Amino acid sequence: MDSKKITLSNGSPYFEHQDSQTVGPRGPVLLQDFILQENLAHFVRERIPERIVHAKGSGAYGKFTVTHDISQYTKAKLFSAVGNSCKMFARFSTVGGEKGSADTARDPRGFALKFYTEDGNWDLVGNNTPVFFIKDAKKFPDFIHTQKRVPKTNLKSATMMWDFWSLNPESLHQVLILMSDRGTPYGYRHMHGFGSHTYSMINDKNERVWVKFHLKTKQGIKNFSNDEAVSMAGKNPDFAQEDLCNAIENGEFPKWTMYIQVMTEEEARDFRWNPFDITKVWFQKDFPLIEVGEMELNEIPANYFAHVEQSTFSPGNLINGISFSPDKMLQGRLFSYPDAHRYRVGVNAHQLEVNRCPFAVNNYQRDGFMADSSHYQDKPNYFPNSFDDIKPDPSYKSFEYELDSAHVASYNRNENDDDHYTQPGLLYSKAMSAQDRENLVNNIVASMKEINGPKKDEIINRQLCHFFRANIELGMKVASQLSVNIDANMMNHSK
């Protein structure tokens, strides 16, 4: 069989791949060696800007299959019949670490899913936790800065993390999950996934319900202890990536079962907490899980950079029958996610293989960096026009609704919604086993012992007050192991 010729990017074959053109065998290299120039110029541009969050990640393709009928809640074509299926892509990630960091670090895990449906790509962009640290996107840059590095030393800092959390008690629910063993999952196959936000579903009668998405691992929950996670970070900082690749390559395809919780608009009005607050959960005894389908990952992409690194997800990538909610964090992400991808990958990121809708894409977006005109070629770039056959379909008209208020203001996010302690307290006392609680306390103490500087005692005492208000036993155990004397003032704060 004839071998292939090596070529430049324009397709021109060449021979001199290893030896630069010089003046004499030891002479200076000539500027006219365009082969050398092109290879070096491309090499130094092989990286694109790193994700600010979720930089370290793993991805795989797979299949989603509908196993139960939920057409009473949504008119989405994907869910119109049991047995429907579509190709999908999943990306898992740590949140705070850089691209070269360890993927066993104590951190939430991103759980981003892309469903390639006949009505467009649907992105369900969540985490392995049902809640989050903050409830308003305006606070997001400040929060993420505390999870990154100190400007002066460029080091991670427990002081600034706990300072922020202690000043933002809405974080407590997620902090307890993060500090439990769920904060160090054994790779990506052994963790649950959540849409986290409240979304909406609209059915063919134009009726709306609120929903939360859950994906339960069929491999079983498995976590590292803190010591095991730290040890593995040194032994193999790519443990989760390797575990996922090996499992799929060996035919042990990981699977998750998708469920939804459903809340009517009437139930939302009477709910004890704001149902659109991402720091809260809906209790499953009140809003039971409804099985939907199964997700299976069965293919590692042939090229990590092209598929995993360049993959883009946005909660604004919705399909007919699934929509958003007034969740303030979700509303902020509707802007920030696609904006991040325009900056990082480019305005035409949606034309890349991993992001491209495999069905029809008909619009009037044109040009920009890396534009590929193979689909639209010389078609009109404006609407309406007399030349093409693209027409808006009224069956996809957006859901119309009335707002509860016409008054515009920057409302205090915690006004009449400042119960930051009941759900974390129940997580500790009801959902966790005795071993879970012991590990949680040990992990909290290990982290808080790293707090230093002139504000150390103030930060620790402020955070202890939050622990006491959630559960007195939790507060006492953490305080005891930190050798903090409990005074009446601190106990009063816990009432």
Q: What is the pLDDT of residue 491?
A: 59
Catalytic, 127? Answer: yes
User: 96, 149 in Cβ contact below 8 A?
Assistant: no
**pTM for the full predicted model:** 0.94
Fold designation for 57-134+183-356: Catalase HpII,  Chain A, domain 1 (2.40.180)
Half-sphere exposure of 23 (CA within 13 A, CB side): 5
Fold designation for 1-46: Cytochrome C Oxidase; Chain J (4.10.91)
Q: What is the pLDDT of residue 492?
A: 57
Please enumerate, by residue number, every residue annotated as part of a binding site: 337
Q: What is the pLDDT of residue 213?
A: 98
- Kindly report, residue by residue over 103-147, the tens digit of the pLDDT: 999 999 999 999 999 999 999 999 999 999 999 999 999 999 999
- Which stretches of the chain score pLDDT less than 70? 488-495
Q: What is the pLDDT of residue 495?
A: 43
- Cα gap 424→436, rounded to integer Å: 14
* List 121, 127, 317, 461, catalytic entry: 127
* List 17, 42, 54, 274, catalytic entry: 54
Q: Report the run of H or E that residue 64 belongs to, with start and end.
A: strand 57-66
Domain ranges of the chain: 1-46, 57-134+183-356
Please enumerate, by residue number, every residue annotated as part of a binding site for heme: 337
- Start-to-end CA distance of the chain, whole Å, equals 81
Q: Report the run of H or E that residue 177 belongs to, with start and end.
A: helix 172-179
Catalytic, 461? Answer: no
Number of H helices, E strands in the chain: 14, 10
Pull the structure tokens for residue 146.
């505390």
